[in-house]
Amino acid sequence: MKYFFLVFFLAITSCISDENLRLQSNSKYQGNYIGNFKGDLSGEIKFNVSDTGNMEGTIYYTTSNISESISGYVMISGKFDATTKAGLSFSGYLNDKSMNGKWTKGNLTGNYEFYKK
């Protein structure tokens, strides 16, 4: 009986992710975004949202001249979460104009502002 529920649960969760991909087959948020972030750290951010809602881009820290990759996902509602391997996280809502919000990295915090190119 345990195995039945395990197989059933796996089947249901697999279907849910397939549905999400179908829903994001032509994301209205796709395109290039640029912006900056300030606070305990500062720098610039550039990223692209694909037609399936995946985010890929680059963070450039102006104080240390270091860059790193950032990746995340945009939901149908526009809510997104994106993180670097070092733990710098951005979250909020995308739209077709300018947007702003908060970023975090451990105990460090600040604000960001992006706009769609």
pLDDT tens digits for 31-56?
Answer: 999 999 999 999 999 999 999 999 99
Task: Write the DSSP string, the chain.
Answer: -HHHHHHHHHHHHHHHHHHHHHHTTT-TT-EEEEEEEEESS-EEEEEEE-TTSEEEEEEEETTTTEEEEEEEEE-TTSEEEEEETT--EEEEE--SSEEEEEEEETTEEEEEEEEE-
- Domain hosting 79: range is 26-116
State which residues of the chain have pLDDT below 50: 5, 15-16, 19, 21
Q: pTM score, two decimals? A: 0.78
What CATH number does the domain containing 110 carry? 2.40.128.120
- Given this model, what pLDDT does residue 61 score? 97
Query: Residue 13 falls within a domain, yes or no?
Result: no
Please tell me the total count of domains within the chain. 1
Query: Residue 96 falls within a domain, yes or no?
Result: yes
